[in-house]
Structure 1
């Protein structure tokens, strides 16, 4: 659709710098607005109107508000915006004008705007990740303090009931040190309880949400449990946007490249796209290095929740990914590089499980 007025918005918590380009008159209209004034101001501009702003900490509420008012508003991917290397002056007004010009030229690469429910699922997944990280840090602090005092747990298994009981028996001569240690134990206990609560919330949400069939399919692959499957489904959302070859690029799992003429140089992975989803796949890829002859109890239970086609596809993926690890190990490839390559292929297998299910659901809804 042709828009007469293209608007760039530089959005902050309490202010919005707006710049509108009128394609008929060539006029540039600038305005400083409060966030709740944006919709009314846009509706007063010569129509049709389209607006855009960068994805960032302010989220997607403005895009949803404008869409409800009938105003097209693609949210721009910050990493894909065109910027001149020599442009060293950055202000809100210049950013808004630049966004308006790129929107007029059709150079905006949009991100997917999730629904309110989808964003809530993503927030839950990320809250669980934060809880796991906080627990890990709390335990590292306890281990560090014990190490400074020369106290080493005699067994290999840590954070079991026996280990927890051993921690509770430790005493320090200095009252200050004892108080600090007890505070660290309290922090660890609270972190465990918080993670367990979020474990239950994730399991409950995964069992009854719009992505339940996709989560059930993803968890048929080794290394992807309910938490990881829920996280991948919430972060990626619509798998039909990609193909088996483009999903790896979206997740930043493909090599960077700097080629010119006859010279071709490839570097480390791009690490573009969704950081959380990439991390989940990289962690899951390590599991496929372990021996695999037949599915375990968890996979057998999970396979009962999916159709035969998905089950066969998942089994094929599990076997293929383990063979890839065997090949890399036989070639003595660096384990981190090998794991990244397996993670990239794992992304493709996840897509092959999820995309057909979403495509089928879309076709069913349309009919």
Structure 2
């Protein structure tokens, strides 16, 4: 995918820059130590990611992961994290309930007859919330066009259509928030909350509990 290609290109450029650093003596030794440690960490991460991808392709998770991966900004690792943290999307009674569980509901400060909404509560599943926040940033630069299906996937047309609706809707939402002068972080949090609602719906559709 495009995000993965950009990340790989950035990583290659970073290591080229590191390789051009010229140090001597203890400073060079320290740099080599940290480079080796970083390379080992990268290798460990890739091994773990391969294991996660393999697990995501098992019968228990494949349908849900492939369905969620139809949404722009959501790829296999993120889709699996959301599915695994939720366990079953159908256990949440509604999309707002799932968003609240993720800690993406706006906080409220009430006093007498006045009511003021603040930032998101962050009182929920931190791993799912982080995944949604990171995915939401995608909508600050992506196009509203549907996401191309991944090779080898078999997602029902109805689910793919809803994922395309999600992509177009979140793109419009992000543009509207930017036009309204909202800060990038506030706009992203709002998009992440709506993304959570779409994830719930598409997750439930993949489980057969929403038609």
User: Which TM-score band applies after superposition, normalised by the shorter structure?
Assistant: 0.7 to 0.9
Instruction: Give the gaps of 5 or more residues in structure 2.
Output: 1-8
Q: Is the 8 A contact 1:220 1:302 kept in 2?
A: no
CA RMSD of aligned residues (A): 2.0
User: What's 2:81 paired with?
Assistant: 231
Distance in 2 (CA, whole Å) between partners of 1:342 and 1:222 is 13
Shift of 1:358: 2.1
1:170 aligns with 2:21: yes
Instruction: Give the gaps of 5 or more residues in structure 1.
Output: 1-156, 362-367
TM-score, length basis structure 2 = 0.87
Q: Is the 8 A contact 1:285 1:343 kept in 2?
A: yes
Shift of 1:165: 4.4
Shift of 1:326: 1.2
Residues 111-151 of structure 1: CA deviation (Å, up to 9, x unaligned): xxxxxxxxxxxxxxxxxxxxxxxxxxxxxxxxxxxxxxxxx
TM-score, length basis structure 1 = 0.52
User: What's 1:349 paired with?
Assistant: 198
Relative distance call for 1:208 and 1:190 in structure 2 (3 A) is same
The structure, 1 or 2, with the larger RCO (C-alpha pairs under 8 Å, 6+ apart) is 2
Alignment coverage as a number of residue pairs:
201
Distance in 2 (CA, whole Å) between partners of 1:294 and 1:263 is 42
Higher helix proportion: 2
Relative distance call for 1:304 and 1:274 in structure 2 (3 A) is same
1:186 aligns with 2:36: yes
Residues 53-105 of structure 1: CA deviation (Å, up to 9, x unaligned): xxxxxxxxxxxxxxxxxxxxxxxxxxxxxxxxxxxxxxxxxxxxxxxxxxxxx
Distance in 2 (CA, whole Å) between partners of 1:318 and 1:302 is 19
User: What's 1:270 paired with?
Assistant: 121
1:310 aligns with 2:162: no
Shift of 1:295: 3.1
User: What's 1:56 paired with?
Assistant: none
Higher Cα radius of gyration: 1
Q: 1:215 aligned to 43, 51, 65, which one?
A: 65
Is the deviation greater in 215-224 or in 245-254?
245-254
Q: 1:335 aligned to 184, 198, 208, which one?
A: 184
